[in-house]
């Protein structure tokens, strides 16, 4: 244990020894009574090591600044005058939590990260996805990836490519919904010079560009029927003809597709060919929505927080408990993409070391704060004193007897709670 008397000495000790627990007064210097000096020091300590448990020593009049200290990252508060038993319990608890956190960090460094090819997920749903990726990567079969917008379908496609024997070949992605129907065929299959107005040169299509590699067709459900026919032929024969061309070319390209549409409904409505569907979806991988991933939600959120905190040099940032509850209760209609964007914004906008629901632009789930233990005890004392005096017509002796206290103690309580007393009733 080491005691220091000013901010410079405190920071020098923290830099050198990285203490697990620090007890500090808000006005730490004998030359100033400014509690903001303590807030600044608190933040500097947590910048050195965000896992240090800083306990702030306050007086009864420091409530506002004490709350500010909690917002800046203080682990706990203790009020003066210090009670030995209370101080001992807080010391034991602080060191215990610090020890548990250190063990957890060491264990986390020893085990393999819970993720796969840049994707994060510890729950059974994502572990099943990772297992499927490993299996299908070993083959050349077409794969259709299903899931809501923002669930990471392109990441799955890239993971399949990177785990396959085609990893040294190109990975070419195209969003089929972003290209007009009239241009999509040329974009995929290429065209010969003069094939249509504006075709001034011969041009390779995306299928050719992905030769020896993988072509990822995002939003495959938006491909028009005429292009579906040509894609079906390619899947069957591995040959293409450029638009305006007459020569068939053999192309060694693997097709991966993705959609958030209901393809079976589209088949019933006649907007998606059944033969194309079964040729394209030899294997189907369905990504779960973020709201269905349970504890994975906070796991992924913390991963994003770590990434963006490092990028913005704000490694001391952590989620407040209210922020974690807000993350768990949000429905996440935008899935992973929405969570990523909200965390990235929060890292930039957060004040202090704790990210709040407001920083994430989420609704707080924090219940209205109830009375402290001290306030509840005082309310009960006040009510009991009032009740005893009322029942005994303001007479001190029988009221004190009922309460099990001495007359002087009752007088003290009456003074404390501003209970009026009269000389006629004090006997």
User: What SS3 state is found at 290?
Assistant: helix
Mean pLDDT of 185-195: 84
- Going along the chain from its start, the domains and CATH numbers come out as 7-110 (3.40.50.2300), 127-287 (3.40.50.300), 291-360 (1.10.8.60), 373-425 (1.10.10)
pLDDT of residue 111: 42
Q: What is the pLDDT of residues 371-389, one digit of tens each?
A: 677 777 888 888 888 888 8
Q: Is the peptide bond before 318 cis (omega within 30 degrees of 0)?
A: no
pLDDT bucket at 29, cuts 50 / 70 / 90: low
pLDDT bucket at 421, cuts 50 / 70 / 90: low
In the predicted structure, residue 158 carries a pLDDT above the cut 80: yes
Q: What is the pLDDT of residues 256-307, one digit of tens each?
A: 999 999 999 999 999 999 999 999 999 999 999 999 998 889 889 988 998 8
Cβ distance 15 to 44 under 8 Å?
Answer: no
DSSP 320: -
User: Taking each helix axis from N to C terminus, what angle separates 124-137 and 153-163, rounded to the nearest 10 degrees?
Assistant: 40
**Greatest C-alpha distance within the chain:** 118
In the predicted structure, residue 108 carries a pLDDT above the cut 60: no
For all residues of the chain together, what is the average pLDDT? 85
pTM: 0.60
Q: Which residues contact 197 (CB under 8 A, 6 or more apart)?
A: none
pLDDT of residue 104: 66
- The closest alpha carbon to 119, from 336, 267, 355, belongs to 336
Q: What is the pLDDT of residues 216-234, one digit of tens each?
A: 999 999 999 999 999 999 9
In angstroms, the first-to-last Cα distance of the chain is 55
CA dist., res. 79 & res. 72, Å (int): 18
- How much of the chain, in percent, has pLDDT values that exceed 90? 41
How many residues does the structure list for the chain? Answer: 427
pLDDT bucket at 110, cuts 50 / 70 / 90: very low
pLDDT of residue 51: 83
pLDDT of residue 149: 93
């Amino acid at each position: 244990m080491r005691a220091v008397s000013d901010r410079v000495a405190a920071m020098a000790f923290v830099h050198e020894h990285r203490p697990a627990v620090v007890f500090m007064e808000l006005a730490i210097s004998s030359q100033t009574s400014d509690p903001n000096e303590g807030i600044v020091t608190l933040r500097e300590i947590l910048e050195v090591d965000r896992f240090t448990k800083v306990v702030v020593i306050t007086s009864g009049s420091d409530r506002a600044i004490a709350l500010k200290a909690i917002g800046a990252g203080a682990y706990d508060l203790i009020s003066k005058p210090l009670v030995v038993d209370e101080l001992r319990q807080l010391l034991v608890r602080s060191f215990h939590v610090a020890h548990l956190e250190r063990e957890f960090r060491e264990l986390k460094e020893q085990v393999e990260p819970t993720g796969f090819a840049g994707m994060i997920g510890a729950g059974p749903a994502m572990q099943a996805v990772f297992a499927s990726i490993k299996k299908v990567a070993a083959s050349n079969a077409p794969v259709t990836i299903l899931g809501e917008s923002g669930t990471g379908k392109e990441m799955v496609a890239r993971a399949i490519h990177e785990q396959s024997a085609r990893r040294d070949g190109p990975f070419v992605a195209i969003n089929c919904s972003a290209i007009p129907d009239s241009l999509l065929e040329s974009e995929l299959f290429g065209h010969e010079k003069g094939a249509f107005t504006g075709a001034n040169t011969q041009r390779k299509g995306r299928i050719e560009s992905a030769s020896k590699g993988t072509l990822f067709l995002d939003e495959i459900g938006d491909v028009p029927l005429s292009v579906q026919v040509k894609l079906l032929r390619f899947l069957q024969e591995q040959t293409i003809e450029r638009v305006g061309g007459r020569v068939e070319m053999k192309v060694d390209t693997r097709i991966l597709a993705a959609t958030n549409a209901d393809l079976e409904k589209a088949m019933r409505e006649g907007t998606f060919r059944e033969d194309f569907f079964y040729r394209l979806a030899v294997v189907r991988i369905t990504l779960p929505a973020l709201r269905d991933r349970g504890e994975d939600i906070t796991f992924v959120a913390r991963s994003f927080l770590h990434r963006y905190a490092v990028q913005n040099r704000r490694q001391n940032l952590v989620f407040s408990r209210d922020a974690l509850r807000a993350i768990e209760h949000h429905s996440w209609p935008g899935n992973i993409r929405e969570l990523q964007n909200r965390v990235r914004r929060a890292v930039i906008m957060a004040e202090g070391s704790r990210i709040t629901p407001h920083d994430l632009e989420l609704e707080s789930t924090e219940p209205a704060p109830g009375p402290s233990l001290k306030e509840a005890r005082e309310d009960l004392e006040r009510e009991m004193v009032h009740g005893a005096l009322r029942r005994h017509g303001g007479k001190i002796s029988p009221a004190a007897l009922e309460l099990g206290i001495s007359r002087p103690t009752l007088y003290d309580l009456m003074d404390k709670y501003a209970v009026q007393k009269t000389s006629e009733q004090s006997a």
